[in-house]
Amino acid sequence: MNDTKNMIKDYWNGRSSTFDNSPGHVIANRREETAWKSLLQEKIGETAKRVLDIGTGTGFLSIMLAEMGYEVVGLDISEEMLKRANKKAMDRGVELEFKLGDAENLPFETGSFDAIVNRAVLWTLPDPKKALTEWRRVLKPGGRLCFFLHEPHPDGMSHRVRKQIGNLFILIFEGRNPWNSLYDSGKLGVELPFRGGVEPSVITKLLEEGGFEMISAEPMVEIGRLKREGMPLYHKIATSKHVQYCYTALKPNGDELSQV
């Protein structure tokens, strides 16, 4: 593993202890959980059986999918994140597999999964294009890709002031330093192409170039509204209303990567 990946791994290992303190990383209420499960059912479908959750973190998507009856493998580069995900799964009484691994170099055979999901992962990767090639490789022909990613954060003075005020409250109430983040290359020295979010047109083009078909990008308006409802005031101050998108795509039948 190279130096960049080691820095990313160390960051998420350190972040694991406070990760679920951030309201955006957990389900706000039963209505939000129902909305997520409905969306996942729609996008993944009933025929998919084996699902890979890349960058599972503390198990946000993996646990819901296992509860829905899918055979789930949750992968993450951080051992500490996986420990917490495993405990949460045990507490919820669901069975699934958690595996240590790199999103850009997956430890699975070609054509291993019916579907791949992930949430807020591409922005954390040094080489998103390489990641998509790997994701397509481990999908079965006709397999579904479904992931979630925010559009860019605003960059105006008003947003920056609100962000600094909100960060002070995060430091107090969540017990973490929000300035020491992968968003800030000056702090960690990690260059990330999609840091801070990315325009949907960039992602759809990347998917096209990566050999996927039936590509779509849909704003998640209702889930965004429900999640914001459950946020404490200081997070509403710090977090601008940038939209999260649901991206879906298919690996073509007869894909040459399926023969590798």
Q: What is the pLDDT of residue 259?
A: 44
Candidates 8, 14, 1, 24; CA nearest to 195 is 8
pLDDT at 258: 45
pLDDT at 182: 73
Distance (Å, whole) CA 260 – CA 240: 44
Instruction: Report the 10 Å Cβ neighbour count for 195.
Output: 17
Mean pLDDT, residues 63-68: 97
Q: Which of 74-88, 92-106, 148-162, 193-207 has the lowest mean pLDDT?
A: 148-162
Q: Which range has the worst mean pLDDT, 61-75, 104-118, 146-160, 172-186?
A: 172-186
Pairing assessment for the beta strands 113-119 and 50-54 based on DSSP bridges: parallel
The edge-to-edge listing of strands for the beta sheet with 50-54 is 97-100, 71-76, 50-54, 113-119, 139-150, 244-250, 213-219
> At a CB cut-off of 8 Å and minimum separation 6, what does 207 contact?
132, 145, 215, 247, 249
Burial environment of residue 254 by CB neighbours within 10 A (0 to 12, 13 to 18, 19 or more): exposed
Using CA atoms, how far apart are residues 237 and 89, in angstroms rounded to an integer? 32
**Among 241, 152, 231, 142, which Cα is nearest to 194's?**
152
**Global pTM?**
0.90
Flag whether pLDDT at 218 surpasses 60.
Answer: yes
What is the average pLDDT value for the chain, to the nearest integer? 89
Identify the pLDDT of residue 237.
67
Task: Name every residue whose Cβ is closer than 8 Å to that of residue 58 and which is 6 or more positions away in sequence.
Answer: 16, 19, 20, 25, 81, 84, 85, 88
Unique residue bearing structure tokens 């580069």: 77
